[in-house]
A and B are shown apart, each in its own frame.
Chain A
Amino acid sequence: MSTATQMLDKMPGEGQSITLSTVLWRIVLLLAIDGFAIWFATRAFGEGFVSLGLVAVLITASINYIILARDMYPLRWMLVGLFFMLMFSVYPIVLTVLVAFTNYGDGHLLTKQQSIEQITNERYVPEGGAAYSWTGYVSPNGDYALWLQNDAGESFFALPGQPLIPASDTQGVGNLDDKGIPETIEGYTRLNAIQVATNQDIQQIQFGSEADGVQIRSAREAAQLQTRFAYDEAADKLVDQQTGAEYLPVVGRWTAADGTELTAGFRENVGLANFARFFQSSAFRGPLTRIILWNFAFAFLSVFLTFALGLAIAYIFNDPSLPGRKIIQSLLLIPYTIPSLITILIWRGLFNNQVGVINRTLTSLFGIAPAWTVDPWLAKLAILIVNLWLGYPYFMLICSGALQSIPKDLYEAATVDGANGWTRFRRITLPLLLVAVGPLLVASFTFNFNNFNLIFLFIEGGPPIAGSPTRAGHTDILISYVYNLAFAAGRGKEFGLGAAITIVIFFIVAIITLFQFRFTKMWEEVGENV
């Protein structure tokens, strides 16, 4: 062990002189951070973001510990990075993981509390109860208003969404007719009987405030609205005041004995049900098996093809004496230099079935026009071609660097022993190269395993797999399938199932990544430094 290592092995921070000014700086910094954090957390709790507030408190506590505790010195160097990682990376991931154990999705978007609130806000027009006779008015912009009179002889002016205004407080009331109804109200025109009879709109409007609503019941009568559902907290059930039916919570749905459900469902823990659906449901299994197989095939073939072409190019042009080598390398690098979103969209245009240049060329040369976006196998081929184009320059760069680092005397020794070019490549170049680029091959595999941009931007997973219960296509990989589950318009959103599949993908990728380190130099190097 060298002297330098020994010095570094001392408790970090020791031997650093701690002056008064560093202490002061630290206190000022802490006060600023904590002051901000307290303000932030208070606001968060005030707005009802409980988990965000808790996370803010937790992170701030850790920051304080790291700044104050002496043995935390190394972490001070990465304090800002850790903060961003925890707040904007780890915290969203944790939330996502938690979603996997719920039925969060369309029909289950609300919390239970929110769903009860929403349902108990529903009003209905009762058959009996307090009633008014009414007269309708309309403003020039089409806003309706009612003049209400009850049996006790009181009159009110009613606007949608505002509490009833007693007649005496109403502004701009004109002359009253013989029934006590104003002929004009400032800003409004009185509706006559025919207008009322033919007007459907006015019957749908809830007048008055939310708690004290009034709605038209018949051509003459308007009624005080009543709460339709009452929540019975002790029995955890909702009772329909109109029909007497009782609704009990069943897996995030308020369900009556006869099976009818209320529209506002809620989010509930479903344990491992999402994972069970992924692994067992026969409806999902068909498309999912295809998607998983293609996912692995796509990732493997992408890595294999890009590596093979990249290595071939590097090997062929790995000769400093070749004239124009620099120009060749620059031109072959071009695919790597363009943002992939742009090139994927360009390729999408080139592969267009009807008007794309590839098919126009093929038609004029051979009289064929392959249906790239319709035929499942051709679509897969097109994706691999595009990915080959996108990916080979990276391996070209990597391999040309790695080739130069292979000792020349190895080749000389092999030549002396009578090995020909192919044998030298197979026995010396390839093994040594694989040691060097092996980790990058694995990294490339994990990248392509989740290459959402390519699949989504190029072809959106199409062509569709017939008979799939959710949107799934022949070129979909797991991550784009998940995207459709969670975000695709028109179908039910299944955040819970989507998150569960995300976790499955994560385990696959994580295992591959850890495997990669077990068998590579990178890992040894870390181990050696311990």
Chain B
Amino acid sequence: MSNLTFQQQRYLSYAVRWLIALILIFFSIFPVLWILSSSLNPANTLASASLIPQNIGLDNYRQLFTTPETPFLTWIWNSIKISSITTVLSVTITTLAAFAFSRFRFTGRINMLKAILLIQVFPGLLAMIAIFTLMTQFESIIPMFGLDTHAGLILVYLGGAMGVNIWLMKGFFDTIPRAIDESGMVEGASHWQIFSQLILPLMQPILIVVAILTFIGTYGDFILARILLKSTDQYPLMVGLFIFTSGQFSQKWGPFAAGALLGALPIMIVYLVLQDYIVGGLTQGAVKG
């Protein structure tokens, strides 16, 4: 080692690190490559799948789009619709609440913050029975917000909007100097004007992070949607994809692979394009603790 020049040592260290990286990358993208090759393999069972398919074809994709039992395009559209609406409403709710927690002092403030967190960690699985009953009751009062409707599902998602994100956002509001508020107050601005015209523009990075995370979280939700939605046409993608696992999962591997890949693609692109935003947001939130 000591015989090597500084430059050589550096190249050696790069080489070693790239070798480690290649092993890790293999681990990280292996399932993705596998699903890609399965989706292109016309022999669509798990047993006949191989990393490099014998003959390549789009049969699985064709099957996915044309089988009436699996309306794939409807599922994707449902997912995007539900997730977008939930994201917009949820981020609005969270931002307003976090601003209040950051800027106002009122009795019960700390306890409310604690309670929000504890409610969030309650294992919601059994509450599904109660939520299901609640939505059945909603159905007979206001049918458009009942079971098997996207509106009803979104309502239930919004029930979880006040959660960890409040803490993350409140942390960010706290970092914005109070002097900004003060300058606004001197000018005679109301709280609302200070919030919307002075503070909100500064919050843009964290708003994007929270919006992306909410969108992805809703897009990936499975259990609530599965319990509250009944008809195949109303399913979001995750519930739809789960259909393939019923019965002989390994026999429907090909169409599942195609659907999984197409379903994962939008989120993957969002992540990789906005990587720096997400990393920045997560780590700032994290370092702040």
* Interface status of B32 (Cβ within 8 A of chain A): yes
Binary contact track A314-356/B, C-beta < 8 Å → 1, others 0 = 0011010011100011111111111111110111111010111
Binary contact track A82-95/B, C-beta < 8 Å → 1, others 0 = 10110111111101
Chain B interface bracket (under 10, 10 to 19, 20 to 34, 35 or more): 35 or more
Contacts of A12 in B (CB 8 A): 104-106, 191
Q: Which listed residue (B174, B179, B286) contacts A436, Cβ 8 A? A: B286
Q: Which listed residue (A394, A405, A514) contacts B287, Cβ 8 A? A: A405
* Interface status of B46 (Cβ within 8 A of chain A): yes
Q: Complex formed: what's the CA distance from A323 to B34 in Å?
A: 28
Contacts of B50 in A (CB 8 A): 357
Residue of B nearest to A82 (CB): B162
Verify A338–B287 contact, CB threshold 8 A. Answer: no
Q: Complex formed: what's the CA distance from A508 to B264 in Å?
A: 34
Residue among A3, A324, A357, A517 facing the most chain B CB atoms (10 A cut-off): A357
Q: Which listed residue (A5, A49, A398, A529) contacts B283, Cβ 8 A? A: A398
Verify A453–B14 contact, CB threshold 8 A. Answer: no
CB proximity of A349 to chain B, nearest CB, Å: 5
> A85-B116, A316-B20, A339-B219 are known contacts. Are A352 and B46 too (CB-CB below 8 A)?
yes
Binary contact track B88-122/A, C-beta < 8 Å → 1, others 0 = 00000110110111011110011001101111011
* Interface status of A522 (Cβ within 8 A of chain B): yes
- Across chains A and B, the number of contacting residue pairs, with CB separation under 8 Å, is 296
CB proximity of A347 to chain B, nearest CB, Å: 6
* Interface status of A8 (Cβ within 8 A of chain B): yes
Q: B-side binding surface: helix, strand, loop or mixed?
A: helix
Verify A52–B34 contact, CB threshold 8 A. Answer: no
Which residues of chain A from 55 to 112 have a CB within 8 Å of any chain B CB? 71, 73-75, 77-78, 80-82, 84-85, 87-93, 95-96, 99
Residue of B nearest to A521 (CB): B289
For A, the interface residue count at a CB cutoff of 8 angstroms equals 115
Q: Complex formed: what's the CA distance from A38 to B156 in Å?
A: 22
> A349-B249, A525-B171 are known contacts. Are A78 and B162 too (CB-CB below 8 A)?
yes
Contacts of A357 in B (CB 8 A): 34, 49-51
Verify A397–B155 contact, CB threshold 8 A. Answer: no
Verify A339–B263 contact, CB threshold 8 A. Answer: yes
Verify A337–B272 contact, CB threshold 8 A. Answer: yes
* Interface status of B161 (Cβ within 8 A of chain A): yes
Binds B, one of A163-171, A239-247, A499-507: A499-507
CB proximity of A440 to chain B, nearest CB, Å: 6
> A43-B141, A77-B96, A401-B282 are known contacts. Are A355 and B110 too (CB-CB below 8 A)?
no
Q: Which listed residue (B137, B185, B263) contacts A52, Cβ 8 A? A: B137
Residue among A40, A338, A526 facing the most chain B CB atoms (10 A cut-off): A338
Binds A, one of B59-67, B70-78, B128-136, B198-206: B128-136
CB proximity of B9 to chain A, nearest CB, Å: 13
Verify A350–B34 contact, CB threshold 8 A. Answer: yes
Binds B, one of A116-124, A300-308, A478-486: A478-486
* Interface status of B31 (Cβ within 8 A of chain A): yes
Verify B123–A479 contact, CB threshold 8 A. Answer: yes
Which residues of chain B from 263 to 280 have a CB within 8 Å of any chain A CB? 263-264, 267-268, 270-272, 275, 278-280
Verify B220–A340 contact, CB threshold 8 A. Answer: yes
Verify B106–A324 contact, CB threshold 8 A. Answer: no
Chain B: residues with CB nearer than 8 A to chain A?
A: 14, 17-18, 20-21, 24-25, 27-29, 31-32, 34-35, 45-47, 49-51, 93-94, 96-97, 99-101, 103-106, 109-110, 113-114, 116-119, 121-127, 129-131, 133-134, 137, 140-142, 155-156, 158-162, 164, 167, 171, 174, 178-179, 181-182, 185, 190-191, 216, 219-220, 222-223, 238, 241-242, 245, 249-250, 253, 256-257, 260, 263-264, 267-268, 270-272, 275, 278-280, 282-284, 286-289
What are 26 A-B residue pairs whose CB atoms fall within 8 Å in the complex? Answer: A7-B182, A12-B191, A77-B96, A81-B162, A85-B116, A88-B156, A89-B159, A93-B124, A336-B271, A337-B267, A337-B268, A338-B32, A345-B242, A350-B34, A356-B46, A393-B28, A402-B287, A452-B125, A453-B222, A457-B222, A457-B245, A509-B121, A510-B118, A510-B121, A513-B117, A529-B174
Given A78-B97, A316-B17, A436-B286, 14 additional A-B pairs, CB 8 A = A73-B104, A77-B96, A78-B100, A84-B155, A84-B161, A337-B270, A357-B49, A397-B283, A400-B279, A401-B280, A452-B125, A486-B125, A513-B118, A525-B174
